[in-house]
Structure 1
């Protein structure tokens, strides 16, 4: 019971400006785990999809604050293409992938390495919120690389 209480305390965070998430992950088990974790973290999961084509359709139809994006996707679109489209629409991009690519800074605000814990995923999104909503440097998160530069005052 004490462990469950500790897990719930971890997820007591209430999102600020990033509330509506799109999860883009081609591995069904990972997608399910991420969705469950982020719902417990207080986020509204707009959709969970496995392809770039499905992600683009959702981004065009519904308001999205951030995408949690694996680079390896089903379909013909690459994760990089999806990340660029999201970024160009003003959607924060958190890459969650086995190895952060060399060009990650060009397509995302942060990159979380796999495998990761549930707490690291929620903490990574808190970091994205700090950078995008508060214009503040995020706290360190194990396995997370950030590409934050403060906005001009």
Structure 2
């Protein structure tokens, strides 16, 4: 395991990423960090099917996806179901705070991805503001946590 502390309330993840190499790296990194990656998919349509069928704690979501459904649509659906959303994308959009708890810019290191998810976890599970992480924008709303 890469990191000593195990996830607390965020355990079951869905990775939505259309680049197969990035998807594979993210999946391995998060599994080695103690997360249960329920599935890794490349389209919004596939993500919606998993969201409907599985109990999920968080999404690691790229905004650029295969298929016709946008990452924004997937993020809104997840948010409305109480699933934490970490955007991992080339450029964090201006409206990211409306659809996600945080946005990690690409490219990023494995440790930055885990740190970003831990920051989201702190916001959701402990109602604590996140510490600063290079490349990560967070949208801390204590009333929403």
Q: Normalization by structure 1: what TM-score?
A: 0.92
Matches within 5 A, 1:1-153: 8=1, 10-151=2-143
The Cα shift of 1:35 comes to: 0.1
Q: Secondary structure of the residue that 1:68 maps to in structure 2?
A: strand
The CA distance in 1 between the partners of 2:141 and 2:60, in whole Å, is 20
The CA distance in 2 between the partners of 1:126 and 1:97, in whole Å, is 17
Q: Secondary structure of the residue that 2:143 maps to in structure 1?
A: coil
The Cα shift of 1:28 comes to: 0.2
> RMSD between aligned alpha carbons?
1.0
The CA distance in 2 between the partners of 1:11 and 1:29, in whole Å, is 22
Greater CA radius of gyration, 1 or 2?
1
Count of residues in Structure 1 that have an aligned counterpart in Structure 2: 144
The Cα shift of 1:149 comes to: 1.5
Q: Normalization by structure 2: what TM-score?
A: 0.97
